[in-house]
Amino acid sequence: MRSWGVDGYKRGWIAVWLDDDLRAGWELIDNTDRLAALDTSMVMIDIPIGLPDTGYRGCDLAARRLLGAAAPRVFLGLRRPLLQYLDDYAAANAWCKSNGKGLAKQSFAILPKIAEIDDIMTPARQQQFRESHPELIFRRLSGGTVLPSKHSAEGLRLRQELLTRLGFAALDNWLEQLPGTGAKPDDLFDACALALAARDAAQGRVTRANNDTICDSRGLRMEICY
């Protein structure tokens, strides 16, 4: 059975799979029904699952501590009431200010994708669909070193070299297929890292940024696995 790593991009989701025979592949997915129907032992997805009504998630704070100076790569302040403001940044920002601090535009931009996953997520499905974060996975795979930004040439080079060493021999070919899809190399690299973490978790090797088991109002666990 396949393990999947799923990362969002502007037109949908980019998904990388690994199977028990060490084969790998990737595809673009444009709807969450397809995500929900994946034949999978485990999915690691880079999107918040489980949202508090107020305050910050403990898993986000724990992930930020692990990343040190790169802490801003983990967004803060995503809360369930914000899902009513998917098309209105001013209203979302005003609500956040009334509940603490304003909302970063980068965080607002991913609210529609958070809502997509929230619509299909249940506590039972969360046994196979786990929230993850590529920056934490790359840190673990690099022996505790936080890599340079994925938006830099050096950061992209180091990610590709690491993934190639870990078995993604077809990365050059995959990158040649990306132009015109809307997905970028860093999206693909993130999905590859997520797939590796999914395979590890399917085999019982899972690391969490936080050790608590706090659930939100829908019973969804708020945790980041990597």
Regions of the chain with pLDDT less than 50: none
Q: 1-69+112-226 — its CATH code?
A: 3.30.420
Nearest Cα to Cα of residue 197 among 141, 124, 116, 158: 141
* pLDDT on residue 226: 96
* pLDDT on residue 179: 96
Torsion of CA 91, 92, 94, 96, to 10 degrees: 160
Q: What is the pTM of this model?
A: 0.96
Task: Please report, for the chain, the start and end positions of each structural domain, with discontinuous segments joined by +.
Answer: 1-69+112-226
* pLDDT on residue 1: 84
* pLDDT on residue 184: 97
Residue 4: its H or E element: strand 2-9
Nearest-angstrom CA–CA distance, 55 and 183 = 32
Contact 4, 38 (CB under 8 A): yes
CA 216 and chain centroid, separation:
18
